[in-house]
Amino acid sequence: MHRRTVARASQCTDGLVRVAVYLRVSTVKQLKGYGLEVQLDECKAWLDYKIGKGKYVIEVYTDGGVSGKLTQRHDLNALNSDISAGRFDLVVVGKLDRIGRTMKDIHRWVYDTTDQDVRVATADGRIDSDDEMFGIQLSLLAYMAELEHAMILDRTMGGREKKLSAGGWPGGMLPFWLEPAGKGSKEPPTLREEGVRLLEAAARLIADERRSAEQAARGLNALGFTTARGLPWAGANLIRTFGQTALDGYIIYRNTEHPRGSAVRRGPDGQPFYGETVRIPVPVPLPAERVEQVRSALTCRSFRKTTEKGYLLTHRVHGRCGHHYVGTYRETRDRATYRCTGHRATNPCSCQEILAGPLEDAVWAEITKILGDQEKLKGLAEEWLGDVPNRVEAYRERIADLDSQIEEKPSHAQEEARRTRSCGGCR
């Protein structure tokens, strides 16, 4: 969300102060609400008061809906690069916690910036690197920002633990067929009617009509169903959906054994840092027997190839990168293509994927043309044989010479017999 409010700072050399304003909010709600505009207004008011109207040019860098825990942020990275390029004299942020959540991150960024002769200030008036008390104020406010974040986190985790102990949902994404209770409620999730209908339709396609996961996904799309994100269904989505424990009546919160369990922060003892693993009961959308039927059907057919196709040009077509092409088939798109193997190299190539049908038709058209041209075939044969026809007589003479040598030379068995008779005579 990098934007300009006057001319670009790098283009102004008429004695104006070149200013960068950095804005950040953590949630989409703040992004759509007043958060960013308030920060920008505060920064402009500070600049008008401290620098003076018309005496500066600003460029705004915005990370909307991005957590302060992340040290790598798109516009913050762009701002740091422009600071290093010497494009700014001053950087203004609404508050110090817009930069980071910990003392370490805040100190590092502020001192890295001021070391490049760039002034740093906050619009709330608490920090200004031109002040004599700058170092002390920075340490104190950075400590307070980290403490405030820790207290908010502690209150949030406390509320989650209360919900967990009451059997409620602590927060986060739920499976699409479950509806969380109202905000602040400790009640468990309830079933969403639309989500249950989708599961029933998927179960009918897979268990009753004996369709594969990909075929069932296409069936759901034809019926007008979409994923929770509004996207078309794919076979892999269905396989993951019916593998969830929520269909068995429970969800494991802080699951360290989940394939994605590595994302759960752990303490020195290997246990979840913010509390124990909890098994949360949830209502089931389908009978257990029905879920088992679907899972068994998916196990039998999910990885079976439904289309067998030969690719005559595999290893016979080479890309500009030097690697060869291989044939592939994507059932989700019902499309056969040839794909360059260079995309798997250490430095992936940029060779384009080629549709198999048009390529094979073009090659076969050339082959048909050659087969109907006798002169062309004769020329190809001569090219392949090289000078072999001119040396046929020499080859024949050589073969005849070898045959005569073989006839004149006694066989190995005859030689052994002769030696045996000679030895017997000696005795």
How confident is the model at residue 45, as a pLDDT?
Answer: 92
| Domain co-membership, 75 together with 205 | no
In a domain? residue 158 = no
- Mean pLDDT in residue range 2-13: 45
| Domain co-membership, 281 together with 188 | yes
pTM above 0.95, yes or no: no
In a domain? residue 218 = yes
**Better-predicted residue by pLDDT, 260 or 55:** 55
| Domain co-membership, 336 together with 281 | no
How confident is the model at residue 338, as a pLDDT?
Answer: 92
| Domain co-membership, 142 together with 13 | yes
State the CATH number of the domain containing residue 275: 3.90.1750
- Mean pLDDT in residue range 260-286: 64
Closest by CA position to 91, among listed 131, 120, 66, 112: 120
Report whether pLDDT(11) > 50.
no
- Final residue of a structural domain among 282, 301, 320: 301
Do 20 and 79 touch, CB atoms closer than 8 A? yes
In a domain? residue 169 = no
Catalytic (active-site) positions: 26
| Cβ neighbourhood burial of 170 (10 Å; 0-12, 13-18, 19+) | buried
Please state, in angstroms and rounded to a whole number, the distance separating the CA atoms of residues 119 and 319.
Answer: 53
**Range in 234-238, 391-395, 419-423 with the lowest mean pLDDT:** 419-423
What are the angstrom distances between the C-alpha of 398 and each of 153, 393, 401, 404, 411? 93, 9, 5, 10, 21
Q: Residue 199 sits in which domain range?
A: 178-301
State the CATH number of the domain containing residue 96: 3.40.50.1390
Please state, in angstroms and rounded to a whole number, the distance separating the CA atoms of residues 349 and 318.
Answer: 12
Report whether pLDDT(183) > 70.
no
List, edge to edge, every strand of the sheet that includes 17-25. Answer: 3-4, 56-64, 17-25, 90-93, 119-122
- Mean pLDDT in residue range 202-223: 91
Helices (H), 86-133: 103-114
In a domain? residue 82 = yes
- Mean pLDDT in residue range 76-95: 92
Q: Is 188 helix (H, G, I), strand (E, B) or coil?
A: coil
Do 75 and 22 touch, CB atoms closer than 8 A? yes
What are the angstrom distances between the C-alpha of 143 and each of 66, 124, 138, 140, 310? 21, 17, 8, 5, 66
| Domain co-membership, 135 together with 209 | no
Report whether pLDDT(32) > 50.
no
What are the angstrom distances between the C-alpha of 10 and each of 5, 58, 86, 109? 13, 10, 9, 22
| Domain co-membership, 201 together with 78 | no
In a domain? residue 184 = yes
According to DSSP, the β-strands at 278-281 and 250-253 are antiparallel
How confident is the model at residue 302, as a pLDDT?
Answer: 47
| Domain co-membership, 11 together with 135 | yes
Per-residue model confidence as pLDDT tens digits over 286-330: 999 999 999 999 887 544 444 556 788 999 999 988 899 999 887
Average pLDDT score over the chain: 78
How confident is the model at residue 47, as a pLDDT?
Answer: 93
Percent of the chain beyond pLDDT 90?
27
How confident is the model at residue 385, as a pLDDT?
Answer: 65
Please state, in angstroms and rounded to a whole number, the distance separating the CA atoms of residues 43 and 398.
Answer: 97
In a domain? residue 166 = no
| Domain co-membership, 341 together with 250 | no
In a domain? residue 172 = no
What are the angstrom distances between the C-alpha of 383 and each of 127, 368, 369, 377, 389? 83, 19, 18, 10, 11
Please state, in angstroms and rounded to a whole number, the distance separating the CA atoms of residues 59 and 10.
Answer: 10
What are the angstrom distances between the C-alpha of 262 and each of 254, 257, 258, 354, 366? 10, 8, 8, 38, 55
- Final residue of a structural domain among 267, 301, 335: 301
Per-residue model confidence as pLDDT tens digits over 376-415: 888 877 777 666 666 667 767 777 877 777 776 655 556 6
- Mean pLDDT in residue range 29-57: 81
| Domain co-membership, 402 together with 419 | yes
| Domain co-membership, 351 together with 217 | no
Do 300 and 212 touch, CB atoms closer than 8 A? no
Please state, in angstroms and rounded to a whole number, the distance separating the CA atoms of residues 223 and 194.
Answer: 13
Domain tally, the chain: 4
In a domain? residue 264 = yes
- Residue 18 — φ and ψ, nearest 5°? -85, 115
- Final residue of a structural domain among 301, 336, 361: 301
| Domain co-membership, 400 together with 371 | no
| Domain co-membership, 123 together with 37 | yes
- Mean pLDDT in residue range 341-347: 84
Describe the crossing of helices 193-203 and 288-301 by its angle, rounded to 10 degrees. 50
Describe the crossing of helices 134-165 and 103-114 by its angle, rounded to 10 degrees. 150
Per-residue model confidence as pLDDT tens digits over 218-227: 999 999 999 9
The one-letter amino acid code at 3 reads R
Task: Give the confidence band of 125 by pLDDT, cuts at 50, 70, 90.
Answer: confident
- Mean pLDDT in residue range 97-118: 84
Long-range contacts of residues 357-362, Cβ cutoff 8 Å, at least 24 apart: 359/313, 359/317, 360/312, 360/313
Torsion angle of C-alpha atoms 275, 276, 281, 284, degrees rounded to 10 = 100
Q: Is 354 helix (H, G, I), strand (E, B) or coil?
A: strand
